[in-house]
Amino acid sequence: MGIPYLACMALVASLYHLPPRVLPAIQAVEGGYPGQEHPNTNGTRDLGVMQVNTAWLGPLVRYTGTPMATVYRRLRDDACYNIAAAGAIMRTQMDATHDGLLRAVGNYHSHTPDLNRAYQLQVMQSAARLFAAAQTGR
């Protein structure tokens, strides 16, 4: 089974010093695709391949110096841009927490403890499915 956008994910993981398997595992849980917008009950939306939440628009606009409408459109429609934003978010979460990778993965989804832990488990299960052959040497 191939992993969509693997080249973008590998480059972004390298740039942000992330484990190379974390972005594919998150994407498999998120299940996003270019052009996708998913409304959330809190009024935000999840966009694109990695389902980047619109709560990140402000920080991404400030970081890139790009107009908000452009960032929104690119997050929604441009897979590699979306993956790069997800990598930046993961790096931010890893730098903000001293609890390691799994807490940062959970924070990608939610800072609410129960939701955070449930998401960590989903991503770990996703990684196990995606990379089972590599782990067993097949």
**One-letter-per-residue 3-state SS of the chain:** CCCCCHHHHHHHHHHCCCCCCHHHHHHHHHCCCCCCEEECCCCCEEECCCCEEHHHHHHHHHHHCCCHHHHHHHHHHCHHHHHHHHHHHHHHHHHHCCCCHHHHHHHHHCCCHHHHHHHHHHHHHHHHHHCHHHHHCC
Q: Given this model, what pLDDT does residue 77 score?
A: 98
Domain contains 115: yes
For residue range 19-78, what is the model confidence (pLDDT) as tens digits? 999 999 999 999 999 999 999 999 999 999 999 999 999 999 999 999 999 999 999 999
Domain contains 27: yes
Closest C-alpha to 134, from 1, 16, 42, 28: 1
Domain contains 50: yes
pLDDT-based confidence at 100, cuts 50/70/90?
confident
Q: Give the Cα separation of 42 and 24 in Å (integer).
A: 26
Q: In total, how many domains does the chain have?
A: 1
pLDDT-based confidence at 98, cuts 50/70/90?
confident
For residue range 110-135, what is the model confidence (pLDDT) as tens digits? 999 999 999 999 999 999 999 986 65
Q: Given this model, what pLDDT does residue 1 score?
A: 44
Domain contains 138: no
Q: Give the Cα separation of 27 and 122 in Å (integer).
A: 11
Rounded to two decimals, the pTM is: 0.92
Domain contains 136: no
Domain contains 1: no
Domain contains 38: yes
Q: How far is CA 93 from the centre of its chain?
A: 11
Domain span holding position 87: 6-128
Please give the average per-residue pLDDT across 98-120, as a whole number.
93
Q: Given this model, what pLDDT does residue 4 score?
A: 76
Domain contains 133: no
